C-alpha cells in the first residue's frame, strides 16, 4: 500500500480547498482544487474551473497516488465555489442563526395551528409521530403516517415566516 493511503483523514483534510498537483501511477499528473478525499479509498476529488465557465471534475484513485504537492492555498471564496459545484440547484447553505430562526418560526407556526411540537436538538418532533430536520422545509419532514406527513408538509409550505429576507449592502 502506498504512503498516501497510509495517511488518516485528518492528514488528508489539510489538502481540502487547496490547489494541488497529484502525481499518480506511470508519472501521470493531475492538477486542480481538492474538494474532498474519500476516507475509504483515499481517492482525491479534483475540481477545475475553466475560463469558459465550465467545470471539470477528476477523481484520482487513492491506490494510484504517488505524491501530492500543494500549489496554492484556498480561501473562503474558493471553499464556497467548490461546495457550490456539488449543491443541488437552488440549494443554499444557511448559517446557524438562520437555521435557528427557521426552526423557531416553524415551531411557532405549528403551535399557532394547534399542532403539538417539541425540540430534540436540531430536530422538531411533531405530535410524537413526525420529525422535521434542518433546514426545516417540507421535504425535510419524515413520518410513517402518510396522512399526517402530507398535512404537516402543507402547513410547513404555507408558513408565512419561511421566507428568508436579506438586506443588500449599500454600495
First to last CA, the chain: 55
> What is the value of pTM for the model shown?
0.55
**Coil/strand/helix, residue 67:** strand
Give the three cell numbers for residue 132. Answer: 422535521
Can you read off the three cell numbers belonging to residue 105?
418560526
Q: How many alpha carbons fall within 13 Å on the CB side of residue 10?
A: 0
CB 155 within 8 A of CB 115: yes
* Structure confidence by residue, pLDDT tens digits, 39-97: 999 999 999 998 888 999 999 999 999 999 999 998 888 888 888 787 765 556 677 88
Question: pLDDT by residue (tens digit) across 100-133?
Answer: 999 999 999 999 999 999 999 889 999 999 999 9
Amino acid at each position: 500500500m502506498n504512503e498516501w493511503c497510509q495517511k488518516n483523514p485528518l492528514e488528508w483534510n489539510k489538502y481540502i480547498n487547496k490547489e494541488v498537483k497529484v502525481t499518480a501511477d506511470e508519472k501521470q499528473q493531475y492538477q486542480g482544487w481538492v474538494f474532498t478525499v474519500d476516507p475509504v479509498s483515499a481517492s482525491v476529488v479534483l475540481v477545475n474551473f475553466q475560463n469558459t465557465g465550465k467545470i471539470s471534475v477528476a477523481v484520482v484513485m487513492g491506490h494510484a497516488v504517488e505524491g501530492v504537492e500543494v500549489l496554492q492555498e484556498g480561501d473562503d471564496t474558493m471553499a464556497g465555489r467548490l461546495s457550490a459545484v456539488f449543491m443541488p440547484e437552488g440549494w443554499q447553505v444557511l448559517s446557524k442563526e438562520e437555521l435557528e430562526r427557521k426552526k423557531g418560526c416553524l415551531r411557532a407556526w405549528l403551535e399557532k395551528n394547534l399542532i403539538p411540537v417539541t425540540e430534540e436538538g436540531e430536530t422538531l418532533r411533531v405530535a410524537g409521530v413526525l420529525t422535521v430536520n434542518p433546514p426545516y422545509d417540507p421535504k425535510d419532514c419524515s413520518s410513517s403516517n402518510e396522512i399526517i406527513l402530507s398535512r404537516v408538509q402543507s402547513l410547513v409550505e404555507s408558513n408565512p415566516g419561511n421566507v428568508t429576507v436579506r438586506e443588500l449592502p449599500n454600495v
